[in-house]
Amino acid sequence: MGAPAKTSTRSARIEDVNALHAAFDAECTALAGLGDLLSDGLVLADPAGRVRYANSEALRMIGATSAWLRGRATGEVLRTAVPGADPLADAKPGPPQVEETLLLTRSGNEVPARVTLRRLASGGACAALRDLTQDQRLQRELRLRERLATVGELAAGVAHEIRNPLAGISSAAQVLLTRFEPRDDRQKFCRVIIEQVDRLDHTVTSLLKFARPAEPQLRATRLDEVIERVLTLEAERCAEAKVTLERRFAARVPTLYLDPGLIEQVLLNLVQNAVQAMPGGGTLTLEVGLGTRRTRPAERSRGRRSADATPAAGRPTAEEIPVVRLRILDTGLGVPKEVLPRLFDPFFTTKASGTGLGLSISQSIIQEHGGAISIASREGRGTTVIVEFPLEKRHGQRREDARD
């Protein structure tokens, strides 16, 4: 710059601009130095509206590389679900502006985010981005759980009230049945009444079991014996459905501390689900083996109930515990990927006469035993249900909404 600066207003302006640029560079360098210390995203734009810097979290949220985004117009980099919005350009001087919005990633996906904007003294702008995906998921789960607790209590109350009159109807119909001659048509109607009342009773009982799960009475139990009992009960149904049974039991399976009645109920439901998933027949395999499972520290309650459990002292690291792993494999219809996350939801069923409570009851029983249940499936190929029982005697997390 050779021009005499004092006399020319133009060069004075150039000086101002240069000073601003220098100020922005300094501000940008200072903020960028902090950028990778932040867990939030940070984007900086220069006074000309070009993006100069984004930290790694911002790059992740936007789905871009820093090479792509550097020097690009702010409206192209930070887009929201509102077409044409350009938050960085709209940043005003003064206190930061906060908005919750849906950010658009480069590939067009929406990310719920809290965006905090600020116009810098040098004329540049900065945006802090907080990804709200996880928060929203937790909130949704919490709301669902609260709703289920209320619905569960209500259902349990109603179910309880319904059971007594049902028993009355059933015994009256039984008596009536004996009053007609064996050839009398009316006997048939009595049987229909009894049958339908039984079905209602079954639904209502399931509902009660779900809403007020029984506390497991643990005793030394051989899992293979429980399995055999269930298979005996289901043998006829399997034969009718042309389902071949296969057993793959490890040689030495240790004794487990289980409530045999409750576990029988779980296995009965899992086996019935598997058989029902093979309308054209198939193979049902039961596999028992040893393994380990990682547990989260919160699950470490060794005492009777989670309420008595002392919080895990020291490091909150995961723990490997030895388990007996039962796998129930079928070669049936499988489960579509989008349905898989809903299988354990109470009342979720794809069957005309299903209650949708089998898996949710099974899950709470297994969790009460300190175990875990999970499902893997491929549509059209089959389903594998994995149940893990801890070798030690331990109780799991009792559902908070459950009452004794």
Residues that bind ligand ADP (CB under 6 A): 269, 273-274, 277, 330, 332-335, 343, 348-351, 354-360, 383
* Least distance between Mg ion and beta carbon 273 (Å): 4
Out of Mg ion, ligand ADP, none, what residue 122 binds, judged by CB under 5 to 8 A for its kind, is: none
Say if CB 202 and CB 212 are below 8 A apart. Answer: no
Out of Mg ion, ligand ADP, none, what residue 285 binds, judged by CB under 5 to 8 A for its kind, is: none
Q: Which of 273, 295, 360, 363 binds Mg ion (CB under 5 A)?
A: 273
Q: Nearest 5 degrees, angle CA 319-CA 370-CA 229?
A: 130
Alpha-carbon distance 116 to 295, whole Å? 37
* Least distance between Mg ion and beta carbon 203 (Å): 12
Alpha-carbon distance 113 to 37, whole Å? 19
Alpha-carbon distance 364 to 345, whole Å? 11
383 binds Mg ion (CB under 5 A): no
Alpha-carbon distance 270 to 87, whole Å? 52
Cβ proximity to Mg ion: between 122 and 269 the closer is: 269
Q: Which of 358, 382, 390, 396 binds Mg ion (CB under 5 A)?
A: 358
Q: Which of 39, 54, 63, 35 is nearest to 134 (CA)?
A: 39
* Least distance between Mg ion and beta carbon 354 (Å): 6
- Residue in the shown chain whose Cβ atom is closest to Mg ion: 358
Alpha-carbon distance 209 to 201, whole Å? 12
Out of Mg ion, ligand ADP, none, what residue 335 binds, judged by CB under 5 to 8 A for its kind, is: ligand ADP
Out of ligand ADP, Mg ion, none, what residue 383 binds, judged by CB under 5 to 8 A for its kind, is: ligand ADP
Establish how many alpha carbons lie within 13 A of residue 51's alpha carbon, considering only the half-sphere containing its beta carbon.
Answer: 27
Amino acid at 209: K
* Least distance between ligand ADP and beta carbon 258 (Å): 20
Cβ proximity to Mg ion: between 269 and 363 the closer is: 269
Side by side, the strands of the sheet bearing 51-54 are 51-54, 41-45, 125-131, 110-119, 97-104, 79-80
Cβ proximity to ligand ADP: between 196 and 350 the closer is: 350
Q: How would you class 126 by CB atoms within 10 Å of its CB: exposed for 0-12, middle for 13-18, buried for 19 or more?
A: buried
Out of Mg ion, ligand ADP, none, what residue 333 binds, judged by CB under 5 to 8 A for its kind, is: ligand ADP
* Least distance between Mg ion and beta carbon 356 (Å): 8
- Residue in the shown chain whose Cβ atom is closest to ligand ADP: 358
Cβ proximity to ligand ADP: between 221 and 269 the closer is: 269
Cβ proximity to ligand ADP: between 164 and 353 the closer is: 353
Determine the straight-line distance between the first and last CA of the chain, rounded to whole angstroms.
85
The DSSP secondary structure of 48-68, one letter per residue, reads TSBEEEE-HHHHHHHT--HHH
Alpha-carbon distance 220 to 369, whole Å? 13
Out of ligand ADP, Mg ion, none, what residue 343 binds, judged by CB under 5 to 8 A for its kind, is: ligand ADP
Alpha-carbon distance 394 to 251, whole Å? 24
Which tokens is 321 given?
A: 């515990």
* Least distance between ligand ADP and beta carbon 273 (Å): 3
Out of Mg ion, ligand ADP, none, what residue 350 binds, judged by CB under 5 to 8 A for its kind, is: ligand ADP
Neighbours of 277 (CB within 10 A): 21
Out of ligand ADP, Mg ion, none, what residue 351 binds, judged by CB under 5 to 8 A for its kind, is: ligand ADP
* Least distance between Mg ion and beta carbon 271 (Å): 10
* Least distance between Mg ion and beta carbon 88 (Å): 53
Contact residues toward Mg ion (CB under 5 A) are 269, 273, 358
